[in-house]
Structure 1
Amino acid sequence: MTRRTFTWRDGLILVAAVVGIVVTFRLGLWQLSRVDEKEAQQAAMDAREQLPAIPPAALVAAREPAQTDPLLHRAVRLDGQWLPDATVFLDNRSMDGRAGFFVLTPLRLAGDAGVVLVLRGWAPRNFQQRDALPPVPTPAGPVAVTGRVMERVPAVFALGQESGGRIRQNLDLGAYRVETGLPLAATLVQQTGPASDGLQRDWPPPATGVDRNYGYAFQWFGLCTLMALLFLWFQVVRPFLRSPRA
Structure 2
Amino acid sequence: MQFNFYQYQFKTNWFSIVLTMLCILTFIKLGLWQYHKAAIRQNIENQYQASLQQGTADLKSVLEHPEVLVYRNVKVRGEYQPTYQILIDNQIENGRAGYHVVTPFKIKDTHHYVLVNRGWILGSDNHQDVPNVITPAGEQEIQGMVWVPSNKIFSLEDDTERTTNIWKSVWQNLDMKKYQTQAPIQVLNIIIKLDPKQPVGGFVRNWQLPPSRIMTNLGYAYQWFGFAFSALAIYVYLSISRIQARE
TM-score range, shorter chain: 0.7 to 0.9
Task: Write out per-residue CA displacement over residues 101-135 of structure 1, whole angstroms, 9 at most, x where no aligned residue.
Answer: 22100122345664221111122322x20122234
How far does residue 94 in structure 1 lie from its aligned partner after superposition? 2.7
Cα offset for 1:4? 5.5
193, 204, 218: which one pairs with 2:208? 204
- Paired residue secondary structure (1:77): strand
> What is the identity, as a one-letter code, of the residue corresponding to 1:47?
A
Deviations 1:151-198 (A, max 9, x none): 225755212232540111133334423433223233221112158757
Partner of 1:219: 223
2:79 aligned with 1:76 = no
Q: Report percent identity of matched pairs.
A: 24
Gaps of 5+ in 2: 1-6
Unaligned runs of 5+ in 1: none
Q: Of residues 112, 133, 139 in structure 1, which corresponds to 2:136?
A: 139
CA–CA distance in structure 2, aligned partners of residues 154 and 102 of structure 1: 18
Structure 1 residues 29 and 123: alpha-carbon distance in aligned structure 2, compared to 1, 3 A threshold: same
Task: Kindly report which structure 2 residues correspond to 1:1-246, keeping only aligned pairs within 5 A, or say none.
Answer: 6=11, 10-25=13-28, 27-59=30-62, 61-62=63-64, 67-111=65-109, 114-126=112-124, 128-152=125-149, 156-159=153-156, 160-161=158-159, 162=162, 164-194=167-197, 199-206=203-210, 209-236=213-240, 239-240=241-242, 244-246=244-246
- 1 CA distance for matches of 2:175 and 2:109? 27
Provide, for residues 47-105 of structure 1, a one-character-per-residue CA deviation record: whole Å limited to 9, x for no partner.
1343222223224x32xxxx233222221123332222321011123344443222100
Q: For 2:173 and 2:105, how far apart are their aligned partners in 1?
A: 19
Distance 1:133 1:174, change over 3 A: same
How far apart, CA to CA, are the structure 2 residues paired with 1:183 and 1:33?
A: 35
Deviation at 1:224, TM superposition (A): 1.5
Change (3 A) 1:78 1:18: same
Q: Alpha carbon RMSD of aligned pairs, Å?
A: 3.2
Aligned partners of 2:10 and 2:239 also within 8 Å: no
Cα pair distance change 1:37/1:234, threshold 3 Å: same
Q: Please tell me the residue identity of whatever aligns with 1:36.
A: A
Residue 106 and residue 245 in structure 1: after superposition, are their counterparts in 2 closer, same or farther (change >3 A)?
Answer: same
Looking at structure 2, the residues matched to 12 and 173 of structure 1 have their Cα atoms a distance apart, in angstroms, of 50
Deviates more, 1:104-113 or 1:160-169: 104-113
Q: Could you tell me which amino acid in structure 2 is paired with residue 167 of structure 1?
A: V
SS at 1:218 equivalent: helix
SS in 2 for 1:69: helix
The one-letter amino acid of 2:92's match is S
Aligned length: 234
**Which amino acid in 1 is paired with 2:239?**
Q
Relative distance call for 1:204 and 1:57 in structure 2 (3 A) is same
**Post-superposition shift, 1:19?**
4.5
Does the Cα contact within 8 Å between 2:194 and 2:202 map onto a contact in 1?
A: no
TM-score normalised by the chain length of structure 2: 0.76
Q: Which structure's residues are more often helix, by fraction?
A: 1
1:209-242 per-residue CA deviation (whole Å, 9 max, x = no partner) reads 4245224313312321331343244333xx44xx
* Contact 1:122 1:199 (C-alpha < 8 Å) held by counterparts: yes
SS in 2 for 1:117: strand
Identify if the C-alpha distance between structure 1 residues 211 and 124 changes in structure 2 by more than 3 Å, giving closer, same or farther.
Answer: farther
Structure 2 residue matching 1:89: 3-state secondary structure:
strand
